[in-house]
Structures are given as C-alpha cells and as structure tokens.
Structure 1
Amino acid sequence: MALERRLKVLSGGGEAEGRLPSVRVAFATSDMKLVDQHFGAATAFAIYRMDAEQCGLLEVAQFEAPAMDGNEDKLAARLAALEGCVAVYCLAVGASAITQLLGRGIQPIKVAAGTSVPRLITELRTELREGPSAWLARALAQREPKSADRFDAMEADGWSE
C-alpha cells in the first residue's frame, strides 16, 4: 500500500534539535490522541520530535487501508515513512515487521488499546530527562556521531585472542 498523504509541520513544530539529545517517535493512531492501530494495518502515523525539554508534532503520514492478506509489500511505505524514528508505538506488530523495523534501527513498542499519545510522550520525555531505558539508550548512542578517539579507547582496553 502506497503512502496516501504526508502532512509536515513547517514551523513551530517542536524543533527539538540542537542542545539536548532528541528523538523522533511515531504513534500508530487514527485520531492523533490514542494509539489504536496495528502496525501493518495502520492508516496513519503521528511522528513527533522530542527532547527532555520540548516536544512537537513533525508530520502525519496517512495510508490507504490495507488488505489483511499477509502480503508484506504493504509494509514498505510504512517503513519508509518512519525513516529517522527510533520507535513506533502500536497495538500489535507481526514478526516480519519487527525484524524489518529493528533492521532499520526502529524499536517497535506494543501498548494496550486506548493508550494516550500525550501520556506516552510524557513518559518518554521523563526517560530522556532522568535516564533512558535500554532501548532508548541504544537509540541515542546510535545517533551520536562517531568520534576518532573511540579507537584510542579500544586500544586502551587491549586486544586478546
């Protein structure tokens, strides 16, 4: 299923880049308020950028309702829409989609039906402020630019075979 419509916020959309580590996170939602969609059947993703101090909606990617036929080609547009995200919150996600998401560095997170998007954002921002969980720490580390002195640290650790 192709991307049907992509709406981007051009200004005032929580430009959380710069000072603090920021992340892009997607929510599978039909109403922009609750996580209420299965990843593979999601008709929309609300994508936010956030750091510990601020948060804002970046874009909404909308899709045609997919046929539930097991055809994995329908995932391509959804995966592409999540480019740059560290996580996607959804009601459910299939094994193949999990593999593809993790391969792109996107952590799928299953939540209970009706979980509030604002509540999840608050929880994530608290994690960013107070110390991230394992998956979020990994995501932040992957996004940090690699410095040349990392090799010095490896050399200091020594080499053993």
Structure 2
Amino acid sequence: MGMERRLKVLSMNDGATAMETDTRVKAAFASSDMKHIDQHFGAAESFVVYVIDPREQHLLEAIQFARLEMDGNEDKLAAKISALEGCDVVYCEAVGASAVSQLRAKGIQPIKVGAGTSVSGLIRDLQRELRDGPSAWLARALAGRDPGRNRRFDAMEAEGWSE
C-alpha cells in the first residue's frame, strides 16, 4: 500500500524566509481537513506537514493515502512512516505500540492528542516551546540533528583536557 497523492509546496524564492535552521521543527499532523487532529496514525488517510521555527510556520506538504481499516496490518505503517521521513514529530489521535517503536527508530516522536485538537494551536504551542525552552523530546530531536556537536569534547580530551 502506497500513498495516493502528495502535494509539496515549493517556495519560489528559497532565500525569502529567515527561518532559524537550528530551531526548526518539521511536524506532521494526522488531519483530514488540515485544521484538526482527527485520525489514528495507522488508519490515517492524510497528513499535513509544516516546518516551524520560533517565529514562523510554513505548509510544506499534504499527503493522502487510500482508505484503510484499523485491522492491525503492519504493511500500512511502512508507507506512512516512509512518507514522514525527516519529520521530528507526528501528532495523532492514537498510535499503536508497533507504530511508536517504528517511528522512534526513524527519529520521529509520536504524540497523542485529543480528537479535534487544532493544528494551529499545536503549532503555536511548538513555537512557544522553541522560544521558551524545549521539552525533553524536543531537546533530543534538536540535538540529534548535529551528531558532531559533542565531538568537541572528544577533541578536548585528545588534547589533554580533563575535569
């Protein structure tokens, strides 16, 4: 089972935005109307994906899948997880244990929210968190983008530095 449609928003002028790359988050939302969370991850028919920084948000893409039953079929997860590659977080009404482990293995944090939660409200919450200080999962996501970040300590130790 693959995706049916994928609409990707391309900027005409990539330099026009001043998004802060070190605090930018790519977030997916399981939403049929692009406004509210209303789908279980495994049975989601669509996701809307935004790139978000402390001050701005931009619609990146909308992804649609064929209608599926929530039958425990693991095959449906692979296409969804693949489509969300590069995302830091996915918000949904519910998510099964298998999907959670597969998403986390790809560096995507699944977050369960109440049915009808607004996408715009979640974006504002993420922006506030990016400005005021990230939660544990968000701090890990941001730090995980720069695996060489802690190499400086290895270099200091090689030079003879110690505590």
Normalised TM-score (structure 2):
0.88
Contact 1:16–1:50 under 8 Å retained in 2: no
Partner of 2:7: 7
Contact in 2 for aligned 1:28/1:38 (Cα 8 Å) = yes
| Match 1:23 to one of 22, 25, 38 | 25
2:92 match: 90
2:155 to 121, 127, 152: 152
**Runs of 4+ residues over 2 Å off in structure 1:** 12-20, 152-158
**Offset at residue 68 of structure 1 (A):** 2.5
CA drift at 1:149: 1.5
- Which letter does structure 2 place at the counterpart of 1:8? K
Secondary structure at 1:119 match in 2: helix
1:82-161 equivalences in 2 (<5 Å): 82-147=84-149, 148-152=151-155, 156=161
Cα displacement string for residues 124-148 of structure 1 (whole angstroms, at most 9, x for unaligned residues): 0000011000000000000125144
CA 77–17 in structure 1, closer or farther in 2 if over 3 Å, else same: farther
Percent identical across equivalent pairs?
57
1:102 is aligned with what amino acid? R
Gap regions ≥5 residues in structure 1: none
Residue equivalent to 2:59: 57
Question: Hey, what's the Cα distance between the residues in 1 that align with 2:86 and 2:103?
Answer: 11
Asked if structure 1 preserves the Cα contact closer than 8 Å seen for 2:31 and 2:46, the reply is yes
Aligned residues: CA RMSD? 2.1
Q: TM-score, normalised by structure 1?
A: 0.90
Query: How many residues were matched structurally?
Result: 158
Contact 1:20 1:52 in 2 (8 A): no
Q: Is the 8 A contact 1:27 1:88 kept in 2?
A: yes
Q: CA deviation at 1:157?
A: 5.7
SS in 1 for 2:6: strand
Q: Unaligned regions of 5+ residues in structure 2, if any?
A: none
Are residues 26 and 153 of structure 1, via their aligned partners in 2, closer, same or farther at CA, if it must alter by over 3 Å? farther
